[in-house]
Amino acid sequence: MADANRVDRPLSPHLQIYRPQLTSVTSILTRITGNGLIITAFLVVWWLLAAATGADSFATADAVLTSWFGDLCLAASTWALWYHFLAGLRHLYWDAGKGLEIHTAEKLGVAVIAGAFVLSILTFLVV
């Protein structure tokens, strides 16, 4: 028999009422950048295989990777690589039992995002 006082409501927060925290956003972003880097690795391997296959194959692959879309993908991948690297360092820091306080974890999240932008710009300037 159902309880008459029971209210039908969700047992966990829905996205409509849940306010994402910076630590959850950076965690999700780490997973997204990791998957994006896999796609970039496939593009680079395709380019290298095309170079080994012949001039026509290489011309096609090179046209894709040097187009505006290819430049955009490689620029985003540069940021993703730096972000994923810095997020990994942050996780190593957490694994040591340090920086687990909420305010420290949020500062580390901001540092990872900002650091990825700074290192990406430095990479573009050097390369």
d(CA 105, CA 73): 29
User: 106-112 contacts: CB < 8 A, separation 24 or more?
Assistant: 106/21, 106/22, 106/23, 109/22, 109/23, 109/25, 109/26, 110/22, 111/86, 112/26, 112/83, 112/86, 112/87
Residue 14 annotated in ligand binding: no
- In the annotated binding site for heme, the residues are 84
- In the annotated binding site, the residues are 84
